[in-house]
Amino acid sequence: MNATSDAELIETGRKVFAGDWKFIWAAGSIETLPPMDGMEVAFAGRSNVGKSSLINALTNRNGLARTSHTPGRTQELIFFEGPPNAGLRLVDMPGYGYAAAPKAKVAAWTALIHKFLLGRASLARVYVLIDSRHGFKDVDIEILKTFDRSAVSYQIVLTKIDQIKAAELPERIAAIQATLAKHPAAFPDVLATSSETGAGMPELRAAMMKLLRERGA
């Protein structure tokens, strides 16, 4: 993609995400998912990695997605929809790894995620959020294997880059890319973001606009 295309996608993304975004659905089971409509992108990550904060930053709405310092607060698949002509939905997935909830409840969330990945034709990509301060942990690698088995396209998004030294970021990205080379369903480019400063948000929005374009939307 050339610089002109990049600039066009960034501007298109800015306009789409400046529109009216709203919560439309919460699904606690595969049977209660909303009907498929348009293209969906989902956000996955360890509990408290910053999924809700990222969605709020993307949509310029502080209270769209609930944020909490208690890991495991998001217990359902939460759907958000943009302007009517955008054809795009965002899905906030339950955090994996540690959660302040009974093991049976965590197991139920995990099963829901797996079923969602396998049976959702409208799901174009999963953005897997990784805390830039820590990089991959064992539980992240396990979830990547799940995505590989589901043949779902996924891409790594580093969060909280404002909380690490600028010199550390290239090393962290290189280490993540080396791991991704072993995972066939992984998109090779790593997006680095900060919900606090807004860094990387234009590029993440543009990536979604490119997906929409590729799907003919």
pTM as predicted:
0.91
Cα–Cα nearest to 193, from 11, 9, 53: 53
CATH number 3.40.250.10 given to 3-214:
no
Pairing relationship of beta strands 22-27 and 77-81 according to DSSP bridges: antiparallel
pLDDT, position 83: 93
| Long-range Cβ contact pairs of 24-29 (< 8 A, separation 24 or more) | 24/79, 24/80, 24/81, 24/89, 25/78, 25/79, 26/76, 26/77, 26/78, 26/79, 27/76, 27/77, 27/79, 27/112, 28/75, 28/76, 28/77, 28/112, 29/112
User: Where in 53-193 does DSSP place strands (E)?
Assistant: 77-81, 88-92, 123-131, 154-159, 191-192
Instruction: Spell out the domain ranges in the chain.
Output: 3-214
pLDDT, position 19: 95
pLDDT, position 146: 85
Within 10 A of 27 (CB to CB), how many other CB atoms are there?
16
pLDDT, position 98: 63
What is the biggest distance separating any 2 CA atoms in the chain, rounded to whole angstroms?
A: 51
Cα–Cα nearest to 191, from 11, 4, 54: 54
pLDDT, position 32: 92
Query: By the 8 A CB rule, do 19 and 12 touch?
Result: no
Strand-pair partners of 46: 96
pLDDT, position 101: 65
pLDDT, position 1: 52
∠ CA 54-60-62, nearest 5°, is: 75
Ranges in the chain, pLDDT < 70: 1-4, 67-74, 98-101, 217
Task: State pLDDT tens for residues 79-129.
Answer: 999 998 899 999 998 888 765 667 777 777 778 888 898 889 999 999 999
